[in-house]
Structure 1
Amino acid sequence: MTKKQNEKRMFLTSGVSYFVIFFLAIYANFFVIEAIKNAPLEVVFSQSNIVERGIAALMLTVLFDVIVACTLYTLFKPNSLTIASTLFRLIHALFLAVATVSLVNSLSFHSEGLILDGINRFNSIWMLGLAFFGIHLILLSMIVPAPTSIRSFLFLGGLAYFIDTILHLTFSAYSDYAFSLLLFVAIPTVVGEFSLAVWFIKQGTQSKVAQ
Structure 2
Amino acid sequence: MRTNNNMQRKAAVISGIALLIMTIAAFFAQGYVHSSLVVKGDAVTTLENIQASQSLFRLQILGWLIIVITDLIVSWGFYVFLKPFHREYALLAGWLRLLYTAILAIAVSHLVVANSTLQESVIGEALGNMPQQVMWSITAFEAIWSVGLIIFGLHLITVGLVVMKTKHIPKVISILVFLAGFSYSLIHFMYGFIPQLEGFTQILEMTLMAPMFIGELGFGIWLLVKGKKLSMDD
TM-score, L = length of structure 2? 0.81
TM-aligned CA distance change 1:182 to 1:33, over 3 Å = same
* Corresponding residue of 2:216: 193
| CA deviation vs aligned residue, 1:83-118 (integer Å, no higher than 9, x gap) | 111111011101110000012113315622332222
2:62 partner SS: helix
Q: Where do 1:1-150 residues align within 5 Å?
A: 2-38=3-39, 39-78=45-84, 79=86, 80-107=88-115, 108-109=117-118, 111-144=130-163, 145=166, 146-150=169-173
Shift of 1:202: 1.7
Give the Cα–Cα distance (whole angstroms) in 2 for the partners of residues 126 and 56 of structure 1. 16
Give the Cα–Cα distance (whole angstroms) in 2 for the partners of residues 170 and 41 of structure 1. 28
The AA in structure 1 aligned to 2:148 is G
Give the Cα–Cα distance (whole angstroms) in 2 for the partners of residues 186 and 13 of structure 1. 26
| CA deviation vs aligned residue, 1:46-74 (integer Å, no higher than 9, x gap) | 32210111000001101000100001111
* Corresponding residue of 2:121: none
The AA in structure 1 aligned to 2:6 is Q
Give the Cα–Cα distance (whole angstroms) in 2 for the partners of residues 182 and 13 of structure 1. 30
Give the Cα–Cα distance (whole angstroms) in 2 for the partners of residues 101 and 125 of structure 1. 10
TM-aligned CA distance change 1:169 to 1:65, over 3 Å = same
Match of 1:167 among 190, 215, 219: 190
The farther-off stretch of 183-192 and 17-26 is 183-192
TM-aligned CA distance change 1:204 to 1:160, over 3 Å = closer
Q: Is residue 99–residue 121 contact of structure 1 (8 Å, CA) maintained in 2?
A: yes
Shift of 1:129: 0.5
* Corresponding residue of 2:203: 180
The AA in structure 1 aligned to 2:204 is L
TM-aligned CA distance change 1:3 to 1:170, over 3 Å = closer
* Corresponding residue of 2:122: none
Aligned length: 210
Give aligned-pair identity as a percent. 22
Q: Is residue 160–residue 184 contact of structure 1 (8 Å, CA) maintained in 2?
A: no
Q: Is residue 7–residue 80 contact of structure 2 (8 Å, CA) maintained in 1?
A: no
Shift of 1:205: 4.9
* Corresponding residue of 2:123: none
TM-score, L = length of structure 1? 0.89
Structure 2 stretches of 5 or more lacking a match?
40-44, 119-126
The AA in structure 1 aligned to 2:93 is S
TM-aligned CA distance change 1:169 to 1:3, over 3 Å = closer
* Corresponding residue of 1:155: 178
State which structure, 1 or 2, has the greater radius of gyration over its C-alpha atoms: 2
Shift of 1:204: 4.6
2:195 partner SS: coil
Give the Cα–Cα distance (whole angstroms) in 2 for the partners of residues 43 and 53 of structure 1. 14
Structure 1 stretches of 5 or more lacking a match?
none
Q: CA RMSD in A?
A: 2.1
